[in-house]
Structure 1
């Protein structure tokens, strides 16, 4: 299903004008947009090709690349599949070409992807690897944060454990509430969504993606 600019469709909320957003949030949108544009150009893909493969409009992809629209986690996962990369590839500002494998990522070196409209932010914990198939994240869910009403899918497998607060996880037709210490695992091609049911407390989840 195509996303439309300036609408609120389940887990996707976007404004066609970002002029009312704080400067820090505009910078987040611009950084994500540049990264997606660089990935598209590196693979020699046109806006039309990416839009067709992702089932999104050309105008919407263009707005994301220019930092005028804020993509949801579902949209980012879809675009990562189109570019044949993990979502972790959208974090770092370093060149996209292969870099030497690292063993350790220091706390101060963590890259962060802030999906500020949905109240979700992800910190990349795993060091840069030679293949990047396994990635470790800390996911912060602000009160009421959610990927939205619409289920989404992407390549790979995921697992994790709730470190703080609660998380509601839906996989296929099953909806489960997970508390501190509860863990999960499922194939990412199974339709899923998640969120924080609390209206006052933040949730923290250690999350693993393998593609």
Structure 2
């Protein structure tokens, strides 16, 4: 997917200049320009911050051209889960086309060494998940812990947080958050 041209398209459809979006987000307009030209590939946390300035959710940003492509459930094949990730981190969303979705369920795949970005994530609600495979370092506020298969986490999402694969194999997580932030 061409993230840069999609961002430009969404931004212009909302009547925003690069300068206005940059001002809303607290970055320089050259940062927005570099993303739109695909000269920089933003981390998930950076992209979410930019999209919050429009505002549009990560899910809507990545799947806006897929409306009506799949069933409303209740069952979903693996290839019916749109990938909302970037920079090698994959977030496969369950139930995207469900109009009244009140939670977000993701199957996450993180390559070795990948993370959600240097900027800590923070948003309304709660989130939790289970590590299925690999070793994931999770930072929640000042607390840091490496979790492995079968271990889990649950916290208030307004607390700044980030995830990092510290293992030598892809990490796989199944997570949920409410309200849906993807």
Instruction: Answer whether TM exceeds 0.5 for this pair.
Output: yes
Class of the TM-score when normalised by the shorter of the 2 chains = 0.7 to 0.9
Which of 146, 151, 160 is the aligned partner of 2:120?
151
- Secondary structure at 2:83's aligned position in 1? strand
CA RMSD of aligned residues (A): 2.6
Contact kept? 2:131, 2:149, Cα under 8 Å: yes
Q: How many residues align?
A: 178
- Secondary structure at 1:140's aligned position in 2? strand
* CA distance, structure 2, for counterparts of residue 132 and residue 41 of structure 1: 27
The aligned residue for residue 173 of structure 2 is: 205
- Secondary structure at 2:104's aligned position in 1? strand
Contact kept? 2:46, 2:119, Cα under 8 Å: no
Contact kept? 1:101, 1:130, Cα under 8 Å: no
1:188-209 Cα deviation digits (max 9, x unpaired): 22111111111x2111011223
The aligned residue for residue 136 of structure 2 is: 167
1:102 aligns with 2:65: no
* CA distance, structure 2, for counterparts of residue 75 and residue 203 of structure 1: 21
1:69-103 Cα deviation digits (max 9, x unpaired): 2011111221232233332122215168x999823
- Secondary structure at 2:16's aligned position in 1? coil
Distance 1:101 1:81, change over 3 A: farther
- Secondary structure at 2:65's aligned position in 1? coil
1:122-170 Cα deviation digits (max 9, x unpaired): 2222231214542221111111212344423234432211111121100
Distance 1:132 1:64, change over 3 A: farther
The aligned residue for residue 49 of structure 2 is: 78
* CA distance, structure 1, for counterparts of residue 104 and residue 6 of structure 2: 18
The aligned residue for residue 28 of structure 2 is: 57
Structure-2-length-normalised TM-score: 0.83
Distance 1:149 1:75, change over 3 A: closer
- Displacement of 1:113 in angstroms is 3.5
Q: Residues 189-200 of structure 1: matches in 2 within 5 Å?
A: 189-198=158-167, 200=168
* CA distance, structure 1, for counterparts of residue 166 and residue 56 of structure 2: 30
* CA distance, structure 2, for counterparts of residue 143 and residue 127 of structure 1: 27
Structure-1-length-normalised TM-score: 0.73
* CA distance, structure 2, for counterparts of residue 131 and residue 86 of structure 1: 15
Q: Residues 102-141 of structure 1: matches in 2 within 5 Å?
A: 102-103=72-73, 104-116=75-87, 119-141=88-110
Contact kept? 2:58, 2:84, Cα under 8 Å: no
